[in-house]
């Protein structure tokens, strides 16, 4: 054991604890007949927790970490400490971007060797750890070669570099039995339409994604391929704007049965949607894959990636997820970073522990709302008129026929209360 | 002639005029070999110009109009004065919602009789007017019966009422030789997910739209069917969020060849997009239909529907339109309303005249930018790498093959300047 | 008793109730040694509850109320039913705008007669009701005469009309023993700078406010004079943008000891602030007067005026209020309106009851956080360095002296963790 | 001469030029009787042009510059090339932050030595250059010691460090005959209220600013002290939110005659205001000092710092400035950075040249609008009613007296058109 976390013992569930413990997250507690751990499927994001230096657009690194510096020695130490944290938190999953686990090499091949060595180290550590891989992904946005995009770069060599990188990352995800592979278009978009060929870029992106799906089948990877919607930042516009946009894109390239979405709260907010909207939309379109749990400040127009802290909001998210039958192969990845003033290793533990409790409370509240049934009963009652044969027949009818029924005073619809406040009161009984 | 406009003579093109005239809009001037009038295809929106009382959420009617009151006499007077304004402005088109041209009746049938009478009056007036119908639409959002939606209402009787209303409006549009028919989902969305069945509502909306398309073909209407995207307001969420969302929706119901979009500047802004983005996206997806020209205050989070007044912005919009081959059956509809303090009839004329000049300047600047060619040359140069056989081959290749090319140091892409500021300077030479 | 609320009995505190009851609001329960009712000082807003018809910018009236119509008979019925609701809810206060309690007359004098008659009716009803007047105000924004402002109108006659109206409203508030008088600048701002004399308008507004203060003292009104900050809507810009802006304005006219602020959650949000920020700022500037409790949708750029429903948010607000010593003469006014689809009288009761419970939970959580003390202990520890004599001396020193201390390596400050996530975890133990 | 700009010759005014030249900016051309150069007083921002590496929150350095690296050799080369660019552009001014001109030392004293050496180099270069210093400032936000603020830091040692740093920067600004000194509260604000003592922080900030003013007088610095308002980013909330907030702050500490504001377009936008609003507000409050000219993307919620490119917007800004009597000691500082894909030295020249032309067009349009007089005539006419003795008397009257005049039907104000669209048309004749 390193002394990074100063001997912090694995956290226990203890609702009455004074000190560090889970007050609400009890992995073995059954919720709707399933263990809480199996519902929530928590994952730690390697990037935010171990590679982000605490910078922002107006200032640089604030965190001091013993593994800083682009060396293999640092990368190995980082991995050691990451697995120590996984054990302290008892999380069943983690997630990585290639660039946060290995130093960048001078060449593609050197980067790959660095990467492969760390993957081998992960493989070794995972033999004795309960923590598995939720997903891997390729960081195709940080290095300057990707400044104009990866799959959508005007330079075909960057497309090639990106394709080769994704191949390696997908291979490694497969090797580590990852349950998903994520594509996150950090720079698949544009800064200005003035220099952009929108049609060509979207075509390249569609073809790139198809190749990934083809390769997944070729190597027998059974995990889900996921796209993570985001509307903007760093670019002015990102092609994977939101769930509905991604769905249209997938249909256009015939991929709507092959690819699902990894939905992030913060990205939903930036796109002008609530998190629960994006989850419900994905569920109804059949592409709900996994979630990136965090919280965006509603009043900051950039991606703040805070740890979730508002139980009522989180409850509404898990409500939509439970209605979808749960997360399946997906999980709850904390795509969240410490505030840059939260310098201490203990902040890292506290932030995750608090977030896990918030999610546990949200899940339990969501389950109770479903069990109570008042919300779903009210919803069904509101649409009950559609269950009559006449109403159903109308859906296979035509405008003429319907118009004849309306003419002559056949109907005169009267509005009925939507009862929003009463439904909100019901929610407040459980959160 | 009424004295509403106090004898204002039809406006003339006179760049040196001191008083009321077009300083830039010259209908007969050729731009890229086509008359300016045929490029811009201006339309007056009946609703905003003649039916909106000047209210806002904190105050009621400010405008005094001699036709106020829900009477047929008022409706006829309104039509008279509308056609007087069309003549003063020399606009080739107008647009209506059923509810702004006729008084609401006590029953469906009475409303229809009122509507048919005004349509007959329009028909008569159009015999001697040069102004034609750009599009008609049904207002399925103002009356309280639509408070929970039209096609997506939980009450099937409202669906029926809406279908019958659209049938009548489409019939009338056909009768008046309208070039398009617009569906605007003013309340096709939700206030709260808590009482909404998202999946069922979208299914009903898809079926409703299919019926409209089927009916169009049945009656032989040759115009375009258009959907007008809008992200929110009055609802918390509208299903026709933006162009990409509508495209996904159309694909899902097999309608992407049948239905196009009517893109409004203000709605683009509310969805987090620039107007030119939405135009370019629609062009690339093959669904650019028509435009609602107005301006949203970027800093007001509601639909401000101002008259356009910023030439550089308008120029970028027409640039995308010219690249799409022009507006075809679509037009430039001023979906714009006077500020509520602009009480005078002369404000109505001035606002349209100023907006027409702004659009004319925008169109001419866009044409000059295309003729100069510097923007398109720079854009092509940026993507030139993709024209090589190797690059093209990569698009039909696979990850393995590409990865082999990258390994061993085969490529090392170097970023190249995107030149955004230089391109903006080029634009500024023409606006 | 009317049958509007169908015999609904006054709500009781019953945490285990199945039906309509308060589950958390227990007026007599002591919180920090004070009755909950005396802490929260709930008020019903006459305007939203009884005069708003359910309209929005895209549709008109949805609510059916037996008192609709601008008649004195309707106004009296409305008052009857309002007091019935006050009794059902057991609220200690209500608030009015003149325009929502009386019909507009054809002349100023007729409006005043109507108003005085209703005030007399209120006086009579208040003899037997426990509900008192939190504040009165003049609606100087709905009628078209105020379209360009009241105190800031370019027309001096509107200034006069407004001054006379405020005099009458302040007289009536005094007569009813109101505890505050509010000035809400619904249109004190501008639509466009192009037609606005910013300096002159602000001068007139300052003078107007001074006259109100002078008159208050003349008649011996002991209540607080309050300004309600709002950044925009209906205008493009409102002069009372936020708490800090109002403070600067008050100082400029020497009124910072005479006037306080009535802070609304929704207006705080529209100004880009959290509610707790505005409360803390007002507290530190010594101008915290009262609150308008509601909730703005963070993602709708207009004033949504929803009933509060998020306990963690409300808890943070009451935390700042408790730190200020409580609401004093102020209160918790529900400046909130039903969603326009919530048509039923029972929605009105449920919305208030739910909101009162949310506030009670927030207050109790805030009190527990203060009692626990962990937050305040951490805050003091963070600033502890300032308690040394050397640090205090620095505040009365000068740049030279301080620079000499820094030169030569005298100090080398090291950052310390701000512990944001740990503090958020503490909050989550109580909400 | 270095070869960084590859021998680019100083730009000339040549409206017909095909290549690089000023098409609109003609330094010697008289506008309202004053040379254009003396109106606009352009300044280059050292930070953005020479120290910013092209990073964003999702990616690092993209620019390659021969002076990269924290060495004195690099700092000297950077200065050489900066003065080469000043000469190419012919700008009369530049601005610096201490941290962008010198490498950070291991100690305070070493940083100061580095700084002093570069200041001496500037002094030397300025002997032969026409470019003078518009303002200097201290960067009290980038280094991790400032992560919790400078003057408002919970640690008094950081306050001391900041005070000593400002002393040095003000000394250097004085030595170089700078015309202003700017304080920019990059981190004077908070991330979370939970760990913040709002009152104490504002008190410290007020005292800090007073010390700066005292020191200015002590050393005989004749320039202006300026505060730069910004609402948020990097912090959740900044104390210098906007012009009105700063004004209230200055009054509270008795500094409103000593300190003015440096207004940035992008910061105005982030605060929910138009640029022209902030300028007009500062003018009316008597604190308009200088401007940071750039452009924020209205749809990106972070500080995009683009070069200005929209002439109509810039014209409205200079219109307010001309009405204030011009920039006086202030200037037009391009606080703008290249887009991170604009890698080439020639992009740096083109961006500034384009921006200078945009400002020149804006200035000339503003002057023409003033000369035409139609806007000011319309504005005066709108307020003409206030020029009567009766109206003026009302401002020294009281509510009683005014109410007596209104009672009995004395007045009945009728709204008059605000003519917004007509005024916008006038603007469009000149931009």
**Phi, psi for residue B261 in degrees, rounded to 5:** -115, 145
A15 domain-assigned: no
- Look at residue A162 in the predicted model and tell me its pLDDT: 98
- Look at residue C170 in the predicted model and tell me its pLDDT: 98
* D216-225 pLDDT tens trace: 999 999 999 9
pLDDT at C403 over 90: yes
Q: Mean per-residue pLDDT for C159-185?
A: 97
Q: Which chain D residues touch B426 with a CB distance below 8 Å?
A: none
Which tokens in the block code for residue B233?
A: 């307001």
Does D187 lie in the same domain as D65? yes
- Look at residue C408 in the predicted model and tell me its pLDDT: 87
Contact check, Cβ <8 Å, B425/D350: yes
d(CA C338, CA C358): 16
Q: Mean per-residue pLDDT for D379-387?
A: 98
Q: Best interface-test mutation with B: which of A413, A428, A430 has the largest number of B CBs within 10 A?
A: A413
d(CA D310, CA D355): 9
Q: Are C420 and D192 in contact (CB under 8 A)?
A: yes
- Look at residue D186 in the predicted model and tell me its pLDDT: 87
Q: List the beta bridge partners of residue C225.
A: C181, C259
* B364-385 pLDDT tens trace: 999 999 999 999 999 999 999 9
B124 is annotated as contributing to ligand binding:
no
Q: Mean per-residue pLDDT for D407-412?
A: 88
pLDDT at D408 over 90: no
Look at residue C160 and give its three-state secondary structure.
helix
Look at residue C391 and give its three-state secondary structure.
helix
Does A127 lie in the same domain as A159? yes
B14 domain-assigned: no
* A141-189 pLDDT tens trace: 999 999 999 999 999 999 999 999 999 999 999 999 999 999 987 899 9
Whether the CB of C141 is below 8 Å from some CB of chain B: the reply is yes
Does D258 lie in the same domain as D207? yes
Which tokens in the block code for residue C269?
A: 């949000």
- Look at residue C234 in the predicted model and tell me its pLDDT: 92
Q: Are D353 and D380 in contact (CB under 8 A)?
A: no
Look at residue C237 and give its three-state secondary structure.
strand
- Look at residue A140 in the predicted model and tell me its pLDDT: 98
Q: B62 vs chain D: nearest CA distance in angstroms? A: 8
What is the interface size between A and C, counted as CB pairs within 8 Å? 113
Q: Mean per-residue pLDDT for C172-201?
A: 96
Catalytic annotation on B97?
yes
Domain boundary residue, one of C372, C405, C421: C372
Does A359 lie in the same domain as A395? no
Does D127 lie in the same domain as D194? yes
Does A408 lie in the same domain as A274? no
Does D228 lie in the same domain as D158? yes
- Look at residue D136 in the predicted model and tell me its pLDDT: 98
d(CA D119, CA D109): 15
A204 is annotated as contributing to ligand binding:
no
Is residue D134 within a helix (H) or strand (E), and if so which, with residue range?
strand D132-137
**Phi, psi for residue B124 in degrees, rounded to 5:** -65, -45
Which tokens in the block code for residue A165?
A: 């990188």
Q: Mean per-residue pLDDT for C101-112?
A: 97
Q: Mean per-residue pLDDT for D315-335?
A: 98
Contact check, Cβ <8 Å, C214/D241: no
Q: For residue A371, count CB atoms less than 10 angstroms from its CB and return exposed for 0-12, middle for 13-18, buried for 19 or more.
A: exposed
pLDDT at A409 over 90: no
Number of H helices, E strands in chain C: 16, 12
Contacts of B291 (CB under 8 A, 6+ apart): B262, B263, B264, B265, B279, B317, B321, B327, B330, B331, B332, B333
Domain boundary residue, one of D372, D394, D414: D372
Does B288 lie in the same domain as B386? no
- Look at residue A186 in the predicted model and tell me its pLDDT: 87
Does C348 lie in the same domain as C396? no
Q: Mean per-residue pLDDT for A99-103?
A: 97
Q: Are D134 and D177 in contact (CB under 8 A)?
A: no
CATH number at residue C338: 3.20.20.150
* D90-108 pLDDT tens trace: 999 999 999 999 999 999 9
Q: Mean per-residue pLDDT for B315-330?
A: 98
C109 is annotated as contributing to ligand binding:
no
B13 domain-assigned: no
Whether the CB of A301 is below 8 Å from some CB of chain D: the reply is yes
Which residue range(s) make up the domain with A421?
Answer: 387-430
A303 is annotated as contributing to ligand binding:
yes
D35 domain-assigned: yes
Catalytic residue among B98, B100, B240, B357: B100
3-state class percentages of chain D: helix first, strand second, coil last, to nearest 5: 50, 10, 40
Confidence of residue C410 (pLDDT cuts 50, 70, 90): confident
Q: Mean per-residue pLDDT for C34-63?
A: 97
- Look at residue B423 in the predicted model and tell me its pLDDT: 98
**Phi, psi for residue B170 in degrees, rounded to 5:** -70, -40
Q: For residue B127, count CB atoms less than 10 angstroms from its CB and return exposed for 0-12, middle for 13-18, buried for 19 or more.
A: exposed
A13 domain-assigned: no
- Look at residue C145 in the predicted model and tell me its pLDDT: 98
Does A322 lie in the same domain as A293? yes
Q: Mean per-residue pLDDT for D286-292?
A: 98
Whether the CB of D341 is below 8 Å from some CB of chain A: the reply is yes
Q: Which chain D residues touch A302 with a CB distance below 8 Å?
A: 57, 233, 301-302
d(CA D152, CA D154): 6
Q: C274 vs chain A: nearest CA distance in angstroms? A: 8
B24 domain-assigned: no
- Look at residue C1 in the predicted model and tell me its pLDDT: 78
* C117-127 pLDDT tens trace: 999 999 999 99
Contact check, Cβ <8 Å, D418/C107: no
- Look at residue D184 in the predicted model and tell me its pLDDT: 84
Whether the CB of C200 is below 8 Å from some CB of chain D: the reply is yes
Q: A170 vs chain B: nearest CA distance in angstroms? A: 10
| Number of domains making up chain D | 2
Q: Are D205 and D151 in contact (CB under 8 A)?
A: yes
Task: State what percent of residues in chain C have pLDDT above 70.
Answer: 100
Task: State what percent of residues in chain D have pLDDT above 70.
Answer: 100
Q: Are D258 and D225 in contact (CB under 8 A)?
A: yes
Q: Mean per-residue pLDDT for A18-32?
A: 96
Alpha carbon D278 to its chain centroid, in Å, reads 11
Contact check, Cβ <8 Å, B299/D274: yes
Look at residue B21 and give its three-state secondary structure.
coil
B7 sits in the region (left: phi over 0; alpha: psi -120 to 50; else beta) called left
Does B424 lie in the same domain as B325? no
Look at residue C190 and give its three-state secondary structure.
strand
Confidence of residue A244 (pLDDT cuts 50, 70, 90): very high
pLDDT at C44 over 90: yes
C276 domain-assigned: yes
3-state class percentages of chain A: helix first, strand second, coil last, to nearest 5: 50, 10, 40
A9 domain-assigned: no
Does B358 lie in the same domain as B299? yes
């Amino acid at each position: 054991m390193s002394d990074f976390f100063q001997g912090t013992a694995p956290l226990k569930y203890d609702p009455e604890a004074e000190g560090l413990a889970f007050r609400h997250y009890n992995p073995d507690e059954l919720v709707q007949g399933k263990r809480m751990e199996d519902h929530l499927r928590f994952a730690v994001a390697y990037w935010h927790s171990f590679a982000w230096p605490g910078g922002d657009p107006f200032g640089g690194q604030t965190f001091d970490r013993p593994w800083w510096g682009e060396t293999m020695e640092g990368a190995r130490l980082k991995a050691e400490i990451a697995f120590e944290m996984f054990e302290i938190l008892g999380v069943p999953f983690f997630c990585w971007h290639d660039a946060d686990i290995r130093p960048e090499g001078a060449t593609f091949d050197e980067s790959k060797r660095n990467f492969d060595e760390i993957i081998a180290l992960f493989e070794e550590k995972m033999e004795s750890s309960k923590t598995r891989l939720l997903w891997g992904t390729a960081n195709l946005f940080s290095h300057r070669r990707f400044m104009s995009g990866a799959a959508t770069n005007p330079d075909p060599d960057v497309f090639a570099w990106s394709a080769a990188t994704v191949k390696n990352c997908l291979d490694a995800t497969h090797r580590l039995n990852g349950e998903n592979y994520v594509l996150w278009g950090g720079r698949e978009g544009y800064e200005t339409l003035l220099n952009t060929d929108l049609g060509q870029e979207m075509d390249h992106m569609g073809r790139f994604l198809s190749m990934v799906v083809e390769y997944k089948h070729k190597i027998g990877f059974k995990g889900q391929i996921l796209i993570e919607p985001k509307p903007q930042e760093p670019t002015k516009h990102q092609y994977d704007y939101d769930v509905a946009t991604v769905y249209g894109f997938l249909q256009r390239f015939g991929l709507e049965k092959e690819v699902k979405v990894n939905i992030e709260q913060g990205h939903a907010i930036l796109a002008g949607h609530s998190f629960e909207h994006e989850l419900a939309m994905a569920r109804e379109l059949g592409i709900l894959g996994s979630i990136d749990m965090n919280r965006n400040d509603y009043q900051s127009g950039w991606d703040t990636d805070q740890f979730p802290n508002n139980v009522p909001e989180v409850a509404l998210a898990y409500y939509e997820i439970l209605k979808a039958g749960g997360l399946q192969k997906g999980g709850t990845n904390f795509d969240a970073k410490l505030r840059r003033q939260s310098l201490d290793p203990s902040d890292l533990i506290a932030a995750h522990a608090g977030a896990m409790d918030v999610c546990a409370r949200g899940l339990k509240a969501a389950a109770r709302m479903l069990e109570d049934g008042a919300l779903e009963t009210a919803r069904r009652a509101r649409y009950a008129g559609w269950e009559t044969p006449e109403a159903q027949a109308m859906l296979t009818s035509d405008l003429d026929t319907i118009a004849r029924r309306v003419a002559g005073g056949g109907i005169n619809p009267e509005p009925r209360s939507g009862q929003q406040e009463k439904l909100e009161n019901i929610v407040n009984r459980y959160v």
